[in-house]
């Protein structure tokens, strides 16, 4: 392998360096296979140059070097060297199997983009490429390790790219690759990718902050040195073997804190922290006690990630102390093994097993997450939706809750009780009827907090509701609910889709009953399996009725001479569609939004929402107004029907004096006014003078609601009443 490389400029990754590193842990026979992969890659990329002017082979070598730092096996190193040959040089997978074996070829295939397929948009192509990569990762975690090494080297050498391309790649890195690196515990790569992305997305902010940190480094050198000496001497006096060193927050970490907490740089006091690495598990807690005796701890600033480790396997004790001159100082305390996992995550563990031959705890967690990707894939309709679900699960913050049997479940921060149910099993989530948190009844949408004990109540007759999609947080829950709504409520979705398409065609003077030949052409061009599938897609919001109608009109016009009635209709594609009539009892394909809870008499508008069908909002709903600006094409006119033989939920807030019997009087008046009480809650002010009552009541329409509110306003002790529009 040495001496076989293309001539590389100084400072560029070389084969000699790679060989030296690999020889430390690969066998001679494995090294020979890696050399063969290098020679093939060098031959394939011969004459190809990078944007920076370097020979292209320098990039695969650099990627292999990063993988060698993690001591990945020979197959992974070979795949790193070959990772672009299928995509760039049109080498077939069969040829790679013949030369290097099926495992290496499968890794390379998982890393290659789907360049040969035609997609409707760049966004769709990108989503499908991510989907392919993530599913390959779910089957073999080495795929993502090589891909992260590839992305890291590309980000390090992004300077020669055009400005817009740099920003696009940096944004993609921040949104997908950074959270994946964090989820797998690859903290070194996570931090470097964050800073590199930050430097390309906001170059001026990056340079300004970099200068400020350098200046602060000099100003705070005395404080840092004093703390370092005090901590070292204090720990040494206990006879403990400990390494103590200062660490600096990343520039992006400082920037994020400034942005989230609206701080200036001078207000970010914990730019520096300290890490204490001790020789045993028990000494982590001994060191903690020693530090708390040396400096006063800040209340509420201690976290024990050793007793309950993070999702990615990270373990450390975190504490913030008041150092010299009143400056807050953060300490992380861990063992050498914990430090290895903290820096390299799953890459530090994936090769190794416990002494009993079983998977390590980190491997089990990683395997469970990767398996969840396969579960989401089975329930997901398209690539963009799959990527959306995965992104949701990649948020770094976690909350840890307990089952009634004291098993710890980790969920993304903001997860609800219903997310907890789906994390146990899809069937449990689908059949959830109620939940108890810390032995008290709670709403399904209740956000969970660390330490909560969660108990799920199920019933075989219970089924998912479209409203659940408005508050569940995890990808697994969202994909399971959407899968159910797509399959179980197919008939309702088809019926709604037919209505919407018929109205859109009617506005264009086209008969809704399509000739067989035209229907066949429409299905071929829209990739739908049948007209029912097409109608169902329209009914759940995956396709827009107006766009499908215009497509049909275009097909008709292509077969007719100019000047025909259909041709004339084509010029009126902007014709206003007749509004959809809402009765409130159409089933799950049409439902009233829980944010504004429209009732008859309210002005309303309809949103065609993916996999939720038609969602009805009031015209003055603030959430609807914001969403309408973002996606104006997904909104249609809707009106209330004449025969509404049902009642509708509505929230009211009542401010009352805190006196005996007032709740009973209000509840009695609601009953006297012929309204039903669905839910009641109350909030008391600090002075205990006033109480705010929160009712969800069922009324017939706005007139009924107005009469109810007038009657309640007359009650003694009621000072204010209003409708809660959230």
Q: Which residues pair with 351 in a beta bridge?
A: none
Mark out the alpha helices in 467-515 (DSSP H runs): 475-488, 490-507
388: exposed, middle or buried (Cβ count in 10 Å: 0-12, 13-18, 19+): middle
Q: Which of 88, 172, 375, 578 is catalytic?
A: 88
136: tokens are 């390959």
Pairing of strands 613-618, 590-592: parallel
Strand 718-723 versus strand 648-657 pairing type: antiparallel
> Contact 241/278 with Cβ under 8 angstroms?
yes
Strand partners, 655: 692, 720
| Sign, CA torsion 129/134/139/140 | positive
87 carries an active-site annotation: yes
Catalytic residue, from 30, 36, 87, 533: name it: 87
Buried b (16+ CB within 10 A) or exposed e, 460-477: eeeebebbbbebbbbbbb
Helix axes 361-379, 475-488, angle to 10 degrees: 30
CB 570 within 8 A of CB 555: no
Per the annotation, the verdict on 88 as an active-site residue is yes
The gap from C-alpha 482 to its chain's centroid, in whole angstroms, comes to 16
DSSP code, position 696: E
3-state secondary structure of 380: coil
**Number of CB atoms found within 10 A of residue 491's CB:** 13
- Residue of 160, 132, 157 whose CA lies nearest to 147: 132
Nearest to 620 by CA among 602, 606, 642: 602
What are the residue numbers of the active site?
A: 87-88
């Amino acid at each position: 392998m040495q001496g076989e490389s293309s001539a590389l400029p100084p400072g560029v990754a070389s084969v000699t360096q790679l060989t030296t590193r690999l020889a430390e842990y690969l066998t001679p026979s494995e090294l020979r296979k890696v050399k063969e992969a290098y020679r093939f890659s060098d031959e394939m990329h011969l004459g190809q140059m990078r944007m920076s002017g370097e020979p292209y082979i320098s990039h695969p070598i650099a990627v292999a070097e990063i993988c060698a730092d993690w001591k990945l096996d020979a197959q992974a190193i070979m795949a790193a060297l070959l990772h672009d040959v299928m995509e760039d040089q049109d080498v077939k997978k069969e040829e790679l199997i013949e030369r290097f074996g099926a495992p290496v070829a499968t890794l390379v295939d998982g890393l290659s983009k789907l360049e040969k397929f035609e997609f409707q948009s760049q966004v769709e192509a990108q989503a499908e490429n991510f989907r392919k990569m993530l599913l390959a990762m779910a089957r073999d975690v080495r795929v993502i390790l090589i891909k992260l090494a590839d992305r890291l080297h590309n980000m390090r050498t992004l300077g020669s790219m055009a400005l817009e391309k740099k920003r696009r790649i940096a944004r993609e890195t921040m949104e997908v690759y950074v959270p994946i690196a964090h989820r797998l515990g690859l903290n070194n790569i996570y931090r470097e990718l964050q800073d590199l992305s930050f430097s390309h997305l906001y170059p001026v902010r990056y340079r300004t902050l970099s200068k400020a940190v350098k200046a602060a480094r000099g100003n705070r050198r005395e404080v840092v040195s004093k703390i370092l000496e005090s901590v070292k001497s204090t720990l040494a006096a206990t006879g403990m073997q400990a390494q103590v060193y200062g660490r600096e927050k990343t520039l992006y970490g400082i920037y994020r804190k400034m942005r989230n907490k609206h701080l200036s740089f001078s207000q970010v006091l914990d730019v520096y922290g300290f890490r204490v690495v001790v020789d045993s598990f028990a000494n982590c807690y001994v060191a903690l006690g020693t530090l708390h005796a040396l400096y006063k701890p800040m209340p509420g600033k201690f976290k024990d990630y050793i007793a309950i480790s993070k999702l990615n396997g990270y373990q450390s004790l975190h504490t913030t102390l008041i150092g010299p001159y009143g400056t807050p100082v953060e300490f992380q305390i861990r063992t050498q093994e914990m430090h290895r996992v903290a820096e390299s995550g799953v890459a530090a563990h994936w090769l190794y097993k416990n002494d009993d031959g079983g998977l390590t705890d980190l491997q089990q967690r990683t395997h469970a997450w990767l398996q969840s990707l396969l579960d989401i894939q089975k329930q997901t309709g398209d690539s963009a939706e799959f990527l959306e679900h995965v992104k949701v699960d990649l948020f770094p913050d976690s909350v840890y809750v307990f089952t009634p049997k004291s098993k710890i479940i980790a969920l993304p921060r903001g997860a609800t009780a219903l997310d907890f149910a789906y994390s146990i099993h899809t069937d449990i989530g689908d059949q959830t009827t109620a939940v108890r948190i810390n032995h008290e009844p709670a709403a399904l949408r209740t956000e969970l907090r660390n330490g909560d004990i969660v108990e799920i109540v199920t019933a075989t007759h219970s089924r998912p509701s479209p409203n659940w999609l408005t508050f569940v947080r995890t990808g697994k829950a969202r994909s399971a609910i959407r899968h159910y709504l797509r399959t179980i409520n197919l008939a309702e979705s088809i019926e709604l889709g037919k209505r919407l398409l018929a109205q859109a065609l009617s506005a264009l003077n086209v008969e809704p009953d399509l000739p067989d030949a035209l229907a066949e052409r429409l299905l071929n061009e829209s990739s739908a399996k049948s007209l029912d599938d097409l109608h169902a897609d329209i009914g759940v919001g995956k396709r827009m009725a107006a766009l499908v109608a215009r497509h049909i009109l275009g097909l008709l016009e292509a077969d007719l001479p100019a000047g025909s009635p259909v041709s004339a209709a084509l010029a009126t594609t902007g014709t206003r569609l007749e509004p959809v009539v809402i009765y409130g009892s159409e089933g799950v394909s049409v439902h009233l939004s829980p944010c504004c809870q429209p009732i008859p008499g309210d002005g309303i508008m309809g949103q065609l929402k993916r996999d939720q069908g038609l969602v009805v909002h009031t015209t003055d709903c603030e959430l609807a107004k914001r969403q309408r600006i973002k996606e104006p094409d997904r909104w249609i006119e809707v009106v209330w029907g004449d025969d509404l033989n049902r009642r509708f939920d509505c929230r009211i807030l009542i401010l009352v004096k805190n006196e005996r019997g007032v709740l009973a009087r209000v509840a009695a008046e609601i009953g006297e006014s012929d309204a039903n009480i669905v839910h009641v809650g109350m909030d008391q002010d600090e002075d205990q003078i006033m109480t705010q009552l929160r009712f969800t009541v069922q009324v017939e329409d706005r007139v009924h609601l107005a009469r109810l509110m007038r009657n309640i306003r007359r009650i003694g002790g009621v000072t204010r009443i209003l409708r809660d529009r959230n």
